[in-house]
Amino acid sequence: MIETKRKLLLELAASKPLNASTCLLTFRIESDVAASCRPGQFFNFRPLDSTAPLLRRPISICDARPDAAHSDAGEIDFLVKIVGEGTRLLAVQAPGTTVDVVGPLGNPFTPDPTRPSLLIAGGVGVAPLHFLARSLPAHGGGDAPITFCYGARTQRDFVLLDRIERATSDLILATEDGSLGHKGLVTEIAEPFLADGTQIFVCGPSPMMNAMLPLLRERGLTAQLSLENQMGCGVGACQGCVVPGRQGHIRVCCDGPVVSSEDLESVFSD
Ligand X SMILES: Cc1cc2nc3c(=O)[nH]c(=O)nc-3n(C[C@H](O)[C@H](O)[C@H](O)COP(=O)(O)OP(=O)(O)OC[C@H]3O[C@@H](n4cnc5c(N)ncnc54)[C@H](O)[C@@H]3O)c2cc1C
CB contact at 8 A, 60 and 132: no
Choices 83-91, 171-179, 232-240, 243-251; region in contact with ligand FMN by CB under 6 A: 232-240
Distance, in Å, from the CA atom of 62 to the CA atom of 126, rounded to the nearest integer, reads 8
* CA neighbor of 135 nearest in space, from 257, 202, 39, 60: 39
Contacts of 197 (CB under 8 A, 6+ apart): 115, 116
Distance, in Å, from the CA atom of 61 to the CA atom of 41, rounded to the nearest integer, reads 6
Query: C-beta of 115: minimal distance to ligand FES in Å?
Result: 30
Q: Which of residues 105-134 bind ligand X (CB under 6 A)?
A: 124, 127
Q: Which member of 29, 121, 208, 241 binds another protein (CB under 8 A)?
A: 241
The nearer residue to ligand FES, 98 or 239, going by C-beta atoms, is 239
- For the beta carbon of residue 57, count every other beta carbon within 10 angstroms: 22
Footprint on this chain of ligand FES (rule: CB under 6 A): 231-234, 236-241, 251, 253
Choices 29-37, 205-213, 218-226, 236-244; region in contact with another protein by CB under 8 A: 236-244
What, of ligand FMN, ligand X, another protein, none, does residue 181 touch, CB below 5 to 8 Å by kind? none
Query: C-beta of 54: minimal distance to ligand FMN in Å?
Result: 10
Distance, in Å, from the CA atom of 149 to the CA atom of 123, rounded to the nearest integer, reads 11
- For the beta carbon of residue 96, count every other beta carbon within 10 angstroms: 8
The reply to whether 207 sits near ligand FMN by the rule CB under 6 A is no
The reply to whether 240 sits near ligand FMN by the rule CB under 6 A is yes
State the sign of the Cα–Cα–Cα–Cα dihedral 263, 132, 169, 182.
positive
The nearer residue to ligand X, 74 or 103, going by C-beta atoms, is 103
- For the beta carbon of residue 18, count every other beta carbon within 10 angstroms: 17
Q: Which member of 76, 229, 257, 264 binds another protein (CB under 8 A)?
A: 229
List interacting residues with another protein (CB under 8 A).
4-7, 46, 51-56, 102, 229-244, 248-249, 268, 270
Give the binding site for ligand FMN (CB under 6 A): 232, 238, 240
